[in-house]
Amino acid sequence: MLPSQLIKSLEGIKGFDSKAFEAVHVSGEQVTSIRLNPAKQSLIEREHRLTVDGRPSTQIPWCDHGYYLSERPSFTFDPLFHAGAYYVQEASSMFLWEVLKQTVGQSTQKTVLDLCAAPGGKSTLLASYFTDGLIVSNEVIKSRAAILTENMIKWGADNVVVTNNDPKDFQRLENYFDVIVVDAPCSGSGLFRKDPNAINEWSEENVKLCSLRQQRIVADVLPALKQNGILIYSTCSYSKQEDEDVLDRIVEELQVSSCRLQVNPDWNIVEVESDKHQAQGYRFYPDKIKGEGFFIAAFKKINGDEETYQQEQNLFFPSKQELVQLQSFISLPENYIVFKQNDALRTIKEIWLTSLKNLAKHLYIKKAGVELGIIKGKDFIPSHELAVSLLPLENLAAIELQKEDALQYLKRKDFVADAPKGWALVKHCGLPLGWIKVLPNRINNYYPQEWRILKD
């Protein structure tokens, strides 16, 4: 049963049709959608591409790599899911792709902040969109930053820095980002169909609290946006207080102008305007589109300066000897630089080195670029991050496993493999899953203990 106060509060909002809305919530219909990882699709053997667990799919019209699945497979038992070949994401929220196309356009060498990023749906999309950009993927809650890091590692992109900071901390990076995405914490009514338990947690009081928190978050982070930079604000709430009313506060308090999008009428997305300042927003109702409840709006910052930020933190770099040891294992493309974080060797494109030093000055960095491995005496121990990254690994020893053995590997259980001695990548359908080390009388499984499949 949907909260009656919610229904009452939505009466009169453009596009809201209480009968159709209530009917779709009792229909039991579930929509499953995934977004493919375009960089990993190119690594997967041709015959396995564009299907998930062999099931057919149809494209989501507003996202180049988004697909609806005809049924919900067990993602846990699909090795390609663990290899970061796709992300299971709600279809409406993939509209971010279309917003970027219309507001940022083709130029993808941008510095982008995803402020409320866990578990990583929007960040993985941003990493795929801004192939030449740098994505700072931030999550304030520590435990959630861990799952965000895991998902970003699996996505494999080397242009991502994961941070664990409060929105206010970004004020120290004044006029820094070209794009900021605030996918704000909200009262969650948009997900009622997917998660009926959330209905019991909904209250008018919480909507009010969320609205105040959303305004505070945007105000806190806006100094970090450059002049002409794009702010994208979204929620999965239907409540006007968290959607249109927040847009009004953004226009009132911050110097931004609303961006109007051209939306294909066949998509049934409802364009709305805020009461006071006529800022445009886009509403997704599950009775009108194939997806869950969602709201999104974009703004351009009209004051502020070009990037002025200069402060840098020194990074540590490996010794010549350590580099030689690394190079005996893998040779990186020329435009990548290797640096050290604690004992680990990491790499990032050289063009992002200064940015990384700027970010390191003020933020708590959980992951930057790709962890390559550590040096232990004479040995180089490759990291799991390297195995699932997009760095070129074609020259390394590898074994291909069929599905059942691949799942055994992902459970860290025994499997049969015929591999030469030493380190080897384990692949499924041509896509790396992780490392093994083949010893004379056994195979050591290096799949991360904490990520192994526990279910049988």
74 or 143, CB closer to ligand SAM?
A: 143
Q: What is the DSSP letter of 324?
A: H
Based on CB atoms, which residue is closest to ligand SAM, 39 or 118? Answer: 118
d(CA 137, CA 312): 19
120 vs 432, beta carbon nearer ligand SAM? 120
**Which ranges constitute the DSSP H helices of 270-365?**
320-327, 353-362
Strand 111-114 and strand 177-183: the pairing is parallel
Closest separation in Å from C-beta 181 to ligand SAM: 7
Closer residue to ligand SAM, CB minimum distance, 145 or 356: 145
140 contributes a contact to ligand SAM by CB under 6 A? yes
141 near ligand SAM, rule: CB under 6 A:
yes
For helices 121-129 and 96-103, give the axis angle rounded to 10 degrees.
40
Task: Return the residues of window 224-253 that contact ligand SAM according to CB under 6 A.
Answer: none
Nearer CB in complex with ligand SAM: 117/251: 117
Residue nearest to ligand SAM (CB): 121
Of 336 and 364, nearer to ligand SAM (C-beta) is 364
Nearer to ligand SAM among residue 211 and residue 445 (C-beta): 211
Site for ligand SAM in 109-138 (CB under 6 A): 116-122
Element (H, E) at 150: helix 142-155
Residues 6+ apart with CB under 8 A from 275: 244, 245, 248
Residue closer to ligand SAM by CB (options 232, 345) is 232
90 binds ligand SAM (CB under 6 A): no
Least CB distance to ligand SAM at residue 335 (A): 30
Distances in whole angstroms, Cα of residue 58 to Cα of each of 76, 94, 376: 22, 14, 48
Per CB under 6 A, the segment of 140-148, 222-230, 407-415, 447-455 that binds ligand SAM is 140-148
Q: Which of 55, 144, 172, 277 lies at the binding interface for ligand SAM (CB under 6 A)?
A: 144
Cβ closest to ligand SAM, residue 214 vs residue 355: 214
**Two tokens at 102?**
């219309």
> Which residue lies nearer to ligand SAM by CB, 213 or 290?
213
Q: How far is the CB of 54 from ligand SAM (least distance, A)?
A: 27
Total chain residues near ligand SAM (CB under 6 A): 16
Pull the structure tokens for residue 221.
């982070």
Closer to ligand SAM by CB, 232 or 375: give it: 232
Residue type, position 122, single letter: K
When binding is defined by CB under 6 A, the residue of 66, 79, 84, 167 that contacts ligand SAM is 167
CA 444 – CA 9 distance, rounded (Å):
59
Judged by CB under 6 A, the chain residues 168 through 187 that form the site for ligand SAM are 183, 185
Signed CA dihedral, 374, 380, 385, 386: sign only? positive
Rounded Cα distance between 180 and 254, Å, is 14
CA dihedral for 341, 347, 352, 353, sign (positive or negative): positive
In the list 36, 63, 153, 217, the residue contacting ligand SAM (rule: CB under 6 A) is: 217
Is residue 61 involved in binding ligand SAM (CB under 6 A)? Answer: no
User: What's at 112, amino acid-wise?
Assistant: V
CA 140 distance to own-chain centroid: 15
Q: Which stretch binds ligand SAM (CB under 6 A): 34-42, 139-147, 157-165, 324-332?
A: 139-147
Instruction: Report the C-alpha gap between 410 and 218 in whole angstroms.
Output: 40
Complete DSSP assignment for 66-96: EEEESS---GGG-HHHHTTSEEE--TGGGGH
**Nearest distance in Å: CB 152, ligand SAM:** 11
C-alpha distance from residue 413 to each of 77, 89, 417, 443, 451 (Å): 14, 29, 12, 11, 13
For residue 181, give Cα distances in angstroms to 95, 165, 257, 438.
Answer: 13, 15, 16, 44
Q: How far apart, in whole angstroms, are the C-alpha atoms of residue 201 and residue 15? A: 25
Least Å from the CB of residue 76 to ligand SAM: 19
Least Å from the CB of residue 319 to ligand SAM: 39
Q: Taking the complex as a whole, how short is the minimal distance between the CB of residue 257 and ligand SAM, in angstroms?
A: 24
Verify binding: residue 83, ligand SAM, rule CB under 6 A: no
Binding mask 187-216 for ligand SAM (x = CB under 6 A): --------------------------x---
Q: Closest separation between CB of residue 124 and ligand SAM, Å? A: 8
Residues in touch with ligand SAM (CB under 6 A): 116-122, 139-141, 144, 167, 183, 185, 213, 217
